[in-house]
Every structure is written in structure tokens, then in C-alpha cells.
Amino acid sequence: MAVAPLSLLLPSRGFFFYFLLHFVMVPCSLGSTNVVDLSYDFYNKSCPHVEQIIHNVVSQKLLEAPVTAAGALRIFFHDCFVEGCDASVLIASSRNNKAERDSEINLSLPGDGFDVFFRAKRAVELQCPGVASCADVMAIATRDLVNLVGGPRWEVQKGRRDGLVSKASRVAGNLPQANQKISQLISLFKSKGLSVLDMVALSGGHTIGFSHCREFMPRIYSYNETFDIDPTMNQDYALSLRGPCPRKNLDPTVVALNDVTTPFIFDNAYFGNLQKGLGLLTTDQMLGVDSLTRPYVNIMARDQQIFFNYFVKAMIKMSKIGVKIGSNGEIRSDCGSFNG
Ligand code: HEM
């Protein structure tokens, strides 16, 4: 047997980096750099029909409530940005824990979006109890929903485990807000390992769904000392939004379409809207104005296939943020509560 010289066994700088890379970075997979070990065939033996089971539930739910696709996509995004894609957003608050779901920004996440994930997981549990994580169910169901409303389809890598932490107090600073500057959005996405291009492509998720009046009202009334309406906004569009969103006696439950052109189809119309001042949120419109993001908006407005390609790439990246694998986390039996 060959014996390695002593110098190779001592912790040299090279060894130190090797140690860091293999024994520290891989199991943690926290934060932005995600070295994860997910696979396409993860359930091939343990639950071979998992994708079909989820697909059936999701298709049925979409027939009952077409708004489900947008709701689920936003919930999935909010899950991945807080504690990683680990279904922590599905946990219900308990007497001694105010969960992520009950943080201010998540209160507008719609019930139909939660319902589709819970239903899909229950259907999977009936056939393969204790095998598939809620986090994987979310990733697969979201992919199906996007595809069913006209968007692209991609293969989902699996093997995520469910998180053991869900705290409202850990949400702040991890999710974007409609009043933030593009530079703030860019740093937030960067902190999650996502590039400017990923951010623009993912914002294309606003090609479906709704926003509550309060999210864009500062744009349509008393915008600033010079302009009553945000000058980057199509003025007729802004005026049309004043009807459902009056300054006085506002109904806080009223929503407007994120994509005024083709609101229920997952297509690239959102980007064309931005070129015409038809972006609903300030942050949407700024993507079409800022010199760092505008070129991407223009490319994706011109070619839907390019948007789809970038969107898929970014979704796959996002769905790997901070995932738990191996013996981390757990396989929850009920997505709304931790085991035991
Ligand atoms: C870039 C920064 C982003 C900001 C500032 C932002 C902000 C918002 C806001 C304020 C709403 C309206 C919520 C409401 O009033 O109920 C919304 C809705 C939505 N967002 Fe985003 N978002 C961003 C990125 C994303 C991303 C990356 C995705 C997914 C890939 C996404 C998907 C959605 C969807 C689908 C809706 C509609 C939800 C529904 O109809 O229930 N958003 N977003």
C-alpha cells in the first residue's frame, strides 16, 4: 500500500479549500450558492406516478378556479425566497409560532393557490404515504399550472425535503415590494443567486394574475409635485384604473389585472405592455425603463420563445434555492404542519 507523504495529510491551503467545498458548502446549501443534489428520477421506485397524480389534481383545480395558476406561482416564488424552496410558506401559524404565511406581505397570497398544493399532496399521500415532500409537490404543481395556462413546460428535478422553520419574522427583506427601486430588486435577486436576466424573465410571471389597488394607487393619484399620474404610465390606462380603485371608499379587496392585454394566458404580452406604458406596478414599468433591464424586456417582448427559454432557466434556478436534501428537513405528511 502506498503511503502518502505526511505533507499531503496536513491541512495545507488546498486541503482547506477542499474541506470547505466538500464538507461545509455542500450540506449547507444556504443562501445564494446552491450546490444541490436533486434528480429527475428521485421517485422512480418509491412513487413512480407522482407527477401524474399531481397533474390530475392540478388540472381539476384549474377547471374549478382558473386563478389558481397565478396564485400558486406567486406562492412558490415566496416560498423559495424565504428559507429556500422547502414549503415553509405552507405551514399554518400555531399558538407559539407566527408562521411565514401570516407575515404582512404574504397575507395577500390567495387561498386557491394554497388549496392546490394541499390537495395535490393529499392525493400523493394516498398512493405513496410519507415519500414525496411538499416542496417537490409545489415545484411540480407550479410547473404544471404554468404550462396549462399556456406557458412552457420543463422537467422538474426532485429530492427536496420540507423545512422545519417557518417564521413570519424571517420574511422581511427577503421578498420584493412594488415600491422598491430596480437596484434594490437586483441586489435581492442576486442574494438568491439570480441574475438581472433571471429577474426580468421571472417578472414575466406577471403575465397572469392580479394586484390589489393599494399596490399601484400611488401611481394614479397625486404621483408627485409635478405629475398627478406617473408619467411612465399610459395615461388612459391610469385613468381606467381609477374607476375600480377610487381614492375615497376604496374596497380593499378589489384587484386589477397584471397583464391588461391577455390576462389569463401565460405569454410574452407582459413585456409588450411595458413598452407601451401598460405595466401595472411601478416595479414592472421600471423594468422597461431602466437601462440595465430594458434590453431584456425588449428581447422578450419581441420573441415569446426566447422569453420561455429564459423563464424556464430562471425557474429551474429559483427552484433550487436553499433546498434541503439528504437528512436535512423532513417529509411532512400534512403540508400545513410540521410532523410530530
Ligand atoms: C421583481 C419583483 C416583484 C415584485 C415587486 C412583485 C410584486 C407583486 C405584487 C405587489 C403583486 C400583487 C399582490 C396582490 O396585490 O395580491 C404580485 C402578484 C404576482 N406576482 Fe409578483 N412580484 C415580483 C416578482 C415576481 C416573480 C419573480 C414571480 C414568479 C415567478 C411573481 C409572480 C406573481 C404572480 C403570479 C402574481 C399574481 C398573484 C395572484 O393573482 O394571486 N412575481 N407581485
How does pLDDT run across 130-157, given as a tens digit for each residue? 999 999 999 999 999 999 999 999 999 9
Ordered alpha helix ranges (H), 20-153: 26-28, 50-64, 68-81, 111-127, 134-148
11: confidence class by pLDDT, cuts 50, 70, 90: very low
Place of cell 412552457: 152
Residue 337: name the closest of 16, 175, 126, 101 by CA: 101
Confirm whether residue 82 is marked as ligand binding.
yes
pLDDT score for 172: 95
The pLDDT tens digits of the residues spanning 109-138 come to: 999 999 999 999 999 999 999 999 999 999
pLDDT score for 79: 98
pLDDT score for 26: 36
pLDDT score for 5: 37
Can you say whether the dihedral through the CA atoms of 43, 44, 50, 55 is positive or negative?
A: positive
pLDDT score for 2: 39
Query: Can you tell me the distance from the alpha carbon of 84 to that of 210, in angstroms, rounded to the nearest whole number?
Result: 24
Ligand 1 pocket mutation pick from 62, 67, 74 by most atoms within 8 angstroms of CB = 74
* In the predicted structure, residue 33 carries a pLDDT above the cut 70: no
Query: Quick one: average pLDDT of 329-338?
Result: 98
Answer yes or no: is the C-beta of 333 below 6 A from any ligand 1 atom.
Answer: no
Query: Quick one: average pLDDT of 170-188?
Result: 98
The pLDDT tens digits of the residues spanning 238-276 come to: 999 999 999 999 999 999 999 999 999 999 999 999 999
* In the predicted structure, residue 106 carries a pLDDT above the cut 80: yes
Query: Quick one: average pLDDT of 326-340?
Result: 96
Q: DSSP character for 329?
A: S
What architecture (CATH level 2) is domain 182-315? Orthogonal Bundle (1.10)
Q: Over the range 272-300, which residues count as b (16 or more CB within 10 Å of their CB) and which as e?
A: bbbeebbbbbbbbbbbbebeebbebbebb
Confirm whether residue 88 is marked as ligand binding.
yes
The set of cell numbers assigned to 321 is 434555492
Query: Can you tell me the distance from the alpha carbon of 274 to that of 163, in angstroms, rounded to the nearest whole number?
Result: 37
Answer yes or no: is the C-beta of 184 below 6 A from any ligand 1 atom.
Answer: no
Answer yes or no: is the C-beta of 203 below 6 A from any ligand 1 atom.
Answer: yes
pLDDT score for 340: 81
Answer yes or no: is the C-beta of 151 below 6 A from any ligand 1 atom.
Answer: no
Cα–ligand 1 centroid distance for 214 (angstroms): 14
Ligand 1: which atom is nearest the Cα of residue 69? 35
Q: 63 — alpha (psi -120 to 50), left (phi > 0) or beta?
A: alpha
The set of cell numbers assigned to 274 is 411595458
Per the prediction, the chain carries an average pLDDT of 91
How far CA 242 is from CA of 7, 69, 77, 106, in Å, comes to: 74, 27, 29, 25
pLDDT score for 4: 37
Three-state SS for 94? strand
* In the predicted structure, residue 194 carries a pLDDT above the cut 50: yes
pLDDT score for 178: 97
The pLDDT tens digits of the residues spanning 196-232 come to: 999 999 999 999 999 999 999 999 999 999 999 999 9
% of the chain exceeding 90 in pLDDT: 89
CATH 1.10.520.10 maps onto the chain at 50-170
% of the chain exceeding 70 in pLDDT: 89
- The gap from C-alpha 88 to its chain's centroid, in whole angstroms, comes to 13
pLDDT score for 37: 85
pLDDT score for 134: 98
| Catalytic annotation present for 78 | yes
- Between 15-24, 55-64, 75-84, 209-218, the lowest mean confidence (pLDDT) is in 15-24
The pLDDT tens digits of the residues spanning 289-301 come to: 999 999 999 999 9
* In the predicted structure, residue 21 carries a pLDDT above the cut 70: no
pLDDT score for 221: 98
Domain 50-170 has CATH 1.10.520.10: yes
CATH 1.10.420.10 maps onto the chain at 182-315
